[in-house]
Structure 1
Amino acid sequence: MNQRKTLVIQNNNLVSLKKASNLLSITNKILKRSNEKLSGFLKSANNGNAEAQYALGYEYYSTQNYKQAAHWYSKAAEQGHAEAQCELGKLHYWGRGVPKDYKQAVHWYSKAAEQGHAEAQCELGELHYWGRVVPKDYKQAAHWYSKAAELGYAQAQLMLGDLYLSGEGVSQDYEQAAHWYSKAAELGHAQSQRMLGALFYLGKGVPQDYKQAVHWYLKAAEQGYAQVQLTLGDLYLSGKGVSQDYKQAAHWYSKAAEQGHAKAQWELGELYDLGKGVPQDYEQAAHRYSKVAEQGYAEAQCELGYLYNFGIGVPKDYKQAVHWYSKAAEQGHAGAQLVLGELYNQGKGVPRNHEQAVHWYSKVAEQGHAGAQLVLGELYNRGRGVPKDYKQAVHWYSKAAERGHAEAQWELGKLHYWGRGVPKDYKQAVHWYSKAAERGHAEAQWELGECSLVLKSTLLGACRA
């Protein structure tokens, strides 16, 4: 048995050695051919052949030997080789093999562009559009983009479409925008396919056509364009332009999520949370929310806080809940601020701290949240975390009461009844008790009866006098 094992190991080792030997042999052959190729280019290049000089520059560039690439591109560029001039412009622009020099980049791009080199024309358009080295000039950008676009250069067609869409450097013209996006889209340019899809969706420059919109979105999405994959997910989720299909929504959200797209991660988490298009799976929901929360997405941070708060898909952990609610609250998320105030008020996941509770309730209350305004009124009414202050209690109860919060209306009625923070006023007490009673508030209904008796007694006393 042991002899067999030894033979198997030896045979496996021999196979591995053979494979390694074959791989080495192939590598040596490739290197030999590459050296022969370089040697052939070198002879012609040294004899002043511009095409060979360009080819030599290209070979050196592909091996990241930028200095040698710049040397041979320069030789060819000086002889008027348009492709070499464009490549030399790029090396100067990025500072590869030569010092970074935008003026030299413009010089060589211009040389190539004047010879009708589409990529160089597009690069010049970019420089004019952003105002790099040359003054920002949308008209010049449009000029060079047009030149390249007419030569069938997809990136320039996209940029020209953008200019017509925004009206920069040209008169705004949605039809022209659609025309150039179509040209690039038909060449397989993903971003142009996305823009064309958007124009069909909105009916700008083309008749509104959801099917055509989805057609072009699909083209771009199939090339791995994450933003379009998200858009497709949204369309299938809402049923706009396509039949509502949660499975398809989940499919496209997953595609975008795999590329780290935060919004797609969030939407996918929601689908797992609700069990739409995918089996309900709180662990998966928590996993997706975590991915997005770590990227600073406030809504996901709040949702993750909620899952930890109630132990859904993750172990119940008030400290982790506080951690994620805090992250969202610091970004101004009202829901997270409200719950964080409650956790500080109850001492869950953090030591009980009424001052911190007041701090977070105030943040939400100032955004017009009636529930937070009620709680803040309660804290001032009872002097928890803040000095007892009936005027402040009246202020916050009033805010919530005006928003139709029955509990706040009842509390405000009581303060008017007893004259706390406001002058004693039975009519105002009745007004607010009535408001709360209409909303089914039992205590307010009872107080309303009591208040009516007091008013009757007061009126009878006045008549007898």
Structure 2
Amino acid sequence: MTFKLLTTLTIFACLAGVSALWAQEGAAPGAGLSAPREAQPMPEMSDIEADWARGDFVSVRAGLRRLAQERGDAFSAYRYGRVLLEGRGGPVDVAQADHWLSRAAEGGNVDAATLLARVYLSNIPGGPTREPARAAGLLSQAAARGNAEAQYLLGLLTDGGTGVPQDAAMAYNWFLAAAEQQHPGAQLEVSRALSRGKGTALDTGAALDWLTRAAENGEAEAQFYLSNAYESGGSVPANPTEAMRWLRRSAEAGFLPAQGRLGAKHLAGGDVAQDPAEARRWLGRAAQAGSARALYLLGLAYLGEDGGAADPAQALQALRNASGQGHGPATLRLAQLAETGLANAMAADFETSVALYRKALAEDQPEAAPHLGSLAARGRLDGLVAPHQAVPWVLAAAGTGDVNAEAWLAARAGEGLRPALVAQGRWLLDRAQPAGAAESFRTAAQMGDTDAQYELGRMYSQGAGVVQDYLMAHAWLNVSAAGGNDAAAELRGVIGDLIPPEEEAAAQARVRAFFAAVAQADPGTPVAMPGAPEDAAPGGVEPAE
């Protein structure tokens, strides 16, 4: 589990070195000081507060250092430790921050204990080793004394079983304790637990109530989910106006999914007016935060799909960045643009488009398959892609009614291309032509295709397109299983229970004869399974009975 510290921790913790002056901050009172303590009046906390208000953090740091060192009270130690941790008025010094926060926590300051727990959960460069159990101990002390932040963090640790045993009911109790003190994050967690019945009874009405409280208290994630609730209806009556109000509040609070969705709405129009400037503004924010989908939508906006002026160069940059993150829709759009070209920004490049279509297919964009199949059927992929690789694409194209794809598949099957024979068999099965499917599967099975052997065995077991024959089914399933087809092994077991032992032995004898013939045949030569006249392989090897 990872916890956020103030932004300054990650900014300054990597700075190399600390000046000699600041290296003396944790020294004993009087060390390294050029003037006697009696000559320097002790600062008051009110003076330090005034320096803070003016932004004079150098004076804040010096004043807190003296108070912590000379008075030694827990509050001064906490404030000083926090200043060191945040890098106010000087470099970040996590080691000294740890020292002073520990002293403050030992003195009973619950804010120091809570902040120190975050340090032990965060792996800050230059800081202590991550120790969830120690963090949990610090939070337990602070939570027991009513600190809402400690209660919330302890709830997260308990919910995830980090540093403490996992206990959903205990986690809910800590979340509830913090939520009742108006902690927005805890209110969201209470809502989440009630909506799932996790650690407490399921109560969707109470979940919505706590979600609303969290949203009203400024929790951006809660605002986003409340917007979803008003948009979809169900737990609350649908209210597009309220949905947009909460979505905008969440986006303005910096919640990435809300920014992306708000930009998408302004891109498409509908619930909200199409607005190119707003679409690009919000999608740009989400894209800068690393959202691949926002980059993709921003690319569409710059293509002019938001109704605004097109900027092809910006569009390509956004789409390429999204595709570089593995975003399939962006890759597919780039493939289309590479195929046709884009204004003055991209010349048509067919080979690049094919590579991008294949990448899009690997990124779960199935619509790329029929397009590739259509290209293959028209001969556009000749010399770029081997025919056996194109078979599944052509099958997908044939499924859309592409007659060229159907003809290509039949031609390759006629040439004896095994993947095409199997694909044609499945194509014919889908169109209620089992006899033709069986012939395609038989030819591929005799050529050693395990999938075809399984399909043919299954058809023999059902009597689909062939005369039902459990012995032949068992034999083909046995061969397929020997080639590693798990489904064939499972079905073979079922068929084995349906035939007498002596017939099963006969089926196994057929398999031995089949494998012996395969061993003698030239590679690629069809080998028939003995036992049925229609199984003979014309021009091939006929095993001896």
Using the size of structure 1 for normalisation, the TM-score is: 0.71
Contact preservation (8 Å) 1:409, 1:432: no
- Residue 351 of structure 2: SS of its match in structure 1? helix
Partner of 1:351: 347
Contact preservation (8 Å) 1:377, 1:393: no
1:175 paired to 2:143: no
Report the Cα distance in structure 2 between the residues aligned to 1:301 and 1:217, rounded to whole angstroms.
Answer: 30
Partner of 1:361: 357
Partner of 2:335: 341
Q: What amino acid is the match of 1:353?
A: D
Contact preservation (8 Å) 1:122, 1:156: yes
1:195 paired to 2:189: yes
Alignment of 1:309-320 (within 5 A): 311-315=305-309
| Unmatched tracts of structure 1, length 5 or more | 1-44, 440-461
1:88 paired to 2:80: yes
Partner of 2:231: 237
Which of 48, 51, 54 aligns to 1:60? It is: 51
> How large is the Cα RMSD of the aligned pairs?
3.9
1:390-448 deviation line (CA, Å, top 9, x unaligned): xx244323345269724468625434336676459998897577468789xxxxxxxxx
Which of 99, 123, 130 aligns to 2:122? It is: 130
Q: 1:161 to 1:194 in 2, by over 3 A?
A: same
Q: 1:437 to 1:380 in 2, by over 3 A?
A: same
1:69 paired to 2:37: no
**1:47 CA displacement:** 10
**1:279 CA displacement:** 4.8
1:254 paired to 2:245: no
Report the Cα distance in structure 1 between the residues aligned to 2:96 and 2:149, rounded to whole angstroms.
Answer: 23
1:118-176 deviation line (CA, Å, top 9, x unaligned): 11221232233335644433222122112112222222111111111111222212222
**1:55 CA displacement:** 3.5
Report the Cα distance in structure 2 between the residues aligned to 1:97 and 1:427, rounded to whole angstroms.
Answer: 76
Contact preservation (8 Å) 1:412, 1:429: no
Report the Cα distance in structure 1 between the residues aligned to 2:112 and 2:312, rounded to whole angstroms.
Answer: 59
Alignment of 1:137-286 (within 5 A): 137-272=131-266, 277-279=271-273, 285=279
Q: 1:211 to 1:348 in 2, by over 3 A?
A: same
Which of 322, 326, 331 aligns to 1:328? It is: 322
Report the Cα distance in structure 2 between the residues aligned to 1:224 and 1:178, rounded to whole angstroms.
Answer: 21
Which of 105, 109, 130 aligns to 1:117? It is: 109
Q: 1:247 to 1:82 in 2, by over 3 A?
A: same
Q: 1:432 to 1:319 in 2, by over 3 A?
A: farther
Q: 1:411 to 1:74 in 2, by over 3 A?
A: closer
Q: 1:243 to 1:429 in 2, by over 3 A?
A: closer
Q: 1:238 to 1:409 in 2, by over 3 A?
A: farther
Q: What amino acid is the match of 1:113?
A: A
**1:222 CA displacement:** 2.0
Report the Cα distance in structure 2 between the residues aligned to 1:377 and 1:363, rounded to whole angstroms.
Answer: 15
Report the Cα distance in structure 2 between the residues aligned to 1:87 and 1:94, rounded to whole angstroms.
Answer: 11
Partner of 2:296: 302
Report the Cα distance in structure 2 between the residues aligned to 1:282 and 1:105, rounded to whole angstroms.
Answer: 48
1:181-234 deviation line (CA, Å, top 9, x unaligned): 222222222222222222122221222222222222222222332222111112
**1:178 CA displacement:** 1.9
| Unmatched tracts of structure 2, length 5 or more | 1-36, 434-537, 539-545
- Number of matched pairs: 393
Which of 366, 372, 395 aligns to 2:368? It is: 372
- Residue 170 of structure 2: SS of its match in structure 1? helix
Using the size of structure 2 for normalisation, the TM-score is: 0.61
Partner of 1:108: 100
Report the Cα distance in structure 1 between the residues aligned to 2:123 and 2:234, rounded to whole angstroms.
Answer: 40
Report the Cα distance in structure 1 between the residues aligned to 2:84 and 2:310, rounded to whole angstroms.
Answer: 57
Report the Cα distance in structure 2 between the residues aligned to 1:208 and 1:424, rounded to whole angstroms.
Answer: 55
Q: 1:46 to 1:226 in 2, by over 3 A?
A: farther
Q: 1:436 to 1:210 in 2, by over 3 A?
A: closer
